[in-house]
Structure 1
Amino acid sequence: MDVLVAGAGPVGLMAAYELLRRGVSVRIVDAASGPATTSRAAAVHARTMEVLDQVGLYEAFAARAVHGKGIAFHADGQLLASMDARFTTHATRFDQVWFLDQVITEQLLRDAVTGLGGRIEWGVRLTGFDETDDRLDVTLEHADGHCEQVAVPWLIGADGGHSEVRRRLGITLQGDSSETWLIADADLDFVDPVSHDRIRWVRTDGATTMIFPLVGDRRWRLLDTADVNHD
């Protein structure tokens, strides 16, 4: 094994895929018991589409995503305006945003990894490592409680916001949480039909909610901010 990848989310899976494409042997572990079933990120922008195109995954993603075409504004049950929009002014042929649940993104990347002979080991948590001149001695804890010692030349820490790899290296997570968001993925019905291809700002009773389409004819994500005291 040349590289150990800790974390089977989008970052770890893409890193593993690119290594496998180049003939590098990879082991992928993730502390979770299995793939995520609830969505997180849901938008794919031009630069990501360019990367997917470069690595041979564009068509697979394009076939699953909702292709965003514009923005619409609603108030008190009335459509105020709807416009088609390019989502980038840069020199790229990918001028839309895609809406794609992270659950599906990860599934497509897992398919790509397994298609190259890769395998994901669920329920295996990286709990520590020691560095020497030419390797890392990594401790992996399995779901049944037993620990495994592994010596690897390279380690990729893609183990999320609470990364054990980053913590042990003393690297802080940049940024802050200044807002609390309320998020719901729901099947919606409308009194008047609306196209399932654009971001919609909906204002009613003095409050505004943003909704955008997800995969599935009636599936939408609803977003709003909540008033929370962070002190």
Structure 2
Amino acid sequence: MRIGFFTLLLPLLFAGSLLAETLEKGVLLEKMVEAYGGQKALAHATSYTQHWRVVRAADGVEGTDTRRVTLPNRLYIDLRYPDRSETRILEGEVGIKVYNGHDKRQVQGPMLDAMKVQLMRLYTPLELQKVSERLTVGQRDGYYILSLAKEGVACDYYVNPNNFHIEKTVGKLQMGGSQMAFVTLYKAFSPVDGVLMPHTEVKYAGNVNTATNYLTDTTFIHLKRVGKHRYEQI
């Protein structure tokens, strides 16, 4: 009877040890880097320009989203609809917004934090690996959760345990004494120049669906660093 009990118990203990290993932060990040194309491919994917077709959830109006990213500190977004436009520029700790092409202002507080969260959600597994000492790891809703907090904002990365894709991010910031969450769902994954990328993004502010983005094209840009937040194209 005792032998039979231990025979039944051993597979459970073995499964538990595998789960612990999979949840170990370093192992999880390595599997994510591999799933997204490998270290070499991701090392050349820190700077890129993307064009997206955007469908506004409130009324179905279509627009465009031009995105220029240089990880980990720079973000440019130009969002255009037939009735309005908005440009967001983040350079390290400095955030600029331009409304309808002429109303330009530097932003602080929650507006600046929202831009920081927008950039954090775009971190690749390799970028997350670079800040692994700041990451915590857990489980929720069938996902592995990597959580990163920096500069007063935070982002949770929901990782599918079957393929190690980031299928959801939740960016969090403080607004008026309460926490605001910006959720993005990622779908239609396929490689671009050897780097795995989602081709559909579904966006929410709180529980409200705001827009769905469809990727049109991606161009990678090879840069060299010439200052703290300055780069030159190679």
Q: Which has the larger radius of gyration?
A: 1
TM-score range, shorter chain: under 0.3
Task: Give the structure with the higher percent strand.
Answer: 2
- What's the TM-score, normalizing by structure 2? 0.26
> TM-score under structure 1 normalisation?
0.27
Task: Tell me: higher relative CO, structure 1 or 2? Use CA pairs within 8 A at least 6 residues apart.
Answer: 1
